[in-house]
Amino acid sequence: MSRQKKKEKLAKPQEKTKSFLEPWPNLPQQLLDFMGRQHPDETNRLMQNISFLGVTKSWRSVPKQCSTKNAQLPWLEISDKDHFFQSKTQEHTLNIPFRLGEYWWYGRRTSWDIPWTHFHGCSHGLIVAGGKDPAMYCLLIPTSRFTYRSIPTWDPTIPFKFATLSSNPYNKNKACFLMVLTGCSTPAFVVSHLGYQNKWMKEEKTLLDPNCSKRKLMQFTNAIGFEGKFYALSLQGTLAVIEEIESRFQITKLSRSRAVPSVFPKHFTEYLLESNGEILLIFFIFEQSIRKVDKVEVFKLQMDDLSWLKLDKLGNRTLFAGTNYCMSVNASQLGCRSNCVYFIERATNTWRFYEMGSDTISPCFDDYGSQTISPVWEEPIVENKFLVR
């Protein structure tokens, strides 16, 4: 009996380490259904506006005994590492209800018989995916079930945390690059030219983060490709512009101000995305605990000085933020509330929405007044082209 009990105790920790199969993207059901009825070109346009998951950070304040003269800016740390660096344990199943004009589910109801189950990023309509082999990664084309593009073999000694594309890979007039963030200070990022040279370019130079009170080296936690360049956020909220200079990718500009919320909460989650030709940054702010969002703030990047302008309204746009993606849509075409940010509260796995005008967060309800897992809205009667903004 004692041996049996010992075996049971040993088995329990192993059960906890099993991979959890998470649907991607975890969009509201109404939006998935709407996508399934659209023309392939419209679905592809929608996919190009999906960005990957955000990062949860926490504040570390200056000790109270420090004098004001010697006080430094609070520094940040990643407080939810299991979520951001989950690529080796978190498995995904593609949840797009669309393939070649047919309306059917192949993500939830059937298994996808290919080895790419770990998703590391989504950019310009393609998913960066990996499998069991730490040296093999690819670019999945989600609207075509078994289609993917290969990328150069990866060095398994370097962490592969997050990836994004510099531009649309199907634009023949503009070169497309794939950048991988390592989460380390050296190399902080690695870049490859898609379809050319077939190798990775590492930037071994180290750079002190100008906004780190501890004078630590820059480590990048989030990035987005925009008009052929990369815009990467460091752990301390410094924005770096990374671009090709003489066949090498280098940091050409650094922001003077930090990309952080206007208040000092215990935790916050950040999302970078492109919307209507702009780079937006969304903060979900946890003032009391990491289980409940208390505030939402949306900022727009001003390209001239790399500063962040807080937005009071989104106009006809609606933003969606799930546990593993973020996207922008045209509200009038979808039939949902405009000038809002829909998001999943992770603790309860229910949808809530933040209204920009009233600065309030409300739960999503159905017609009977009961709280639902997915937000409910009325789809437009006349289905015009689904425009992504």
Task: Note whether 267 and 260 are within 8 A (CB).
Answer: no
Instruction: Give the dihedral of Cα atoms 99, 107, 179, 181; nearest 10 deg.
Output: 170
Amino acid identity of 332?
S
167/177 Cα distance (integer angstroms): 7
Q: Residue 366: pLDDT above 70? A: no
- 164-204 pLDDT, tens digit per residue, is 999 988 877 788 999 999 999 999 999 999 877 678 998 77
What is the average pLDDT across 132-155?
85
Which of these ranges, 19-28, 91-100, 147-156, 201-210, has the smallest mean pLDDT? Answer: 91-100
Give pTM, 2 decimals.
Answer: 0.84
pLDDT digits (tens, 9 = 90+) for 250-292: 999 999 999 999 998 889 999 999 998 999 999 999 998 888 8
Above 80 in pLDDT, residue 96? no
Strand 91-94 versus strand 21-24 pairing type: parallel
Residue-wise pLDDT for 209-237, tens only, equals: 998 888 889 999 999 999 999 999 999 99
pLDDT at 102: 42
As beta bridge partners, residue 229 has: 226
11: pLDDT strictly greater than 60: no
Average of per-residue pLDDT values in the chain: 79
Q: 388: pLDDT confidence band, cut at 50, 70 and 90?
A: very low
User: Among the residues of 279-387, which ranges form H helices?
Assistant: 331-334
Does residue 35 register a pLDDT over 50?
A: yes
45-85 pLDDT, tens digit per residue, is 777 788 888 888 998 765 454 444 445 677 888 875 545 54
Averaged pLDDT for residues 325-344: 85
